[in-house]
Structure 1
Amino acid sequence: MPAQLNHTIVHASDQNRSARFLTELLGLPDPVRYGPFLVVEVANGVSLDYMTSQGPITGQHYAFLVSEEEFDEIFGRIRERGLDHWADPFHSRPGQINHNDGGRGVYWNDPDGHALEIITRPYGSGA
Structure 2
Amino acid sequence: MLQSVLILSAAPTRFGDLVEEYRRVAIIEAAIPFGLLRGEAVHEVVSHRLIVTSLWRDAASYESWLTSDERTRVTAGLGPLTVDDQDPVIVKIPRRAGTDPSATLPLDGIATGPTIRVLLVVA
Which TM-score band applies after superposition, normalised by the shorter structure?
0.3 to 0.5
TM-score by length of 1: 0.34
Higher helix share: 2
Q: Which structure is larger by alpha-carbon Rg, 1 or 2? A: 1
TM-score by length of 2: 0.35
Higher relative contact order (CA 8 A, sep 6+): 2
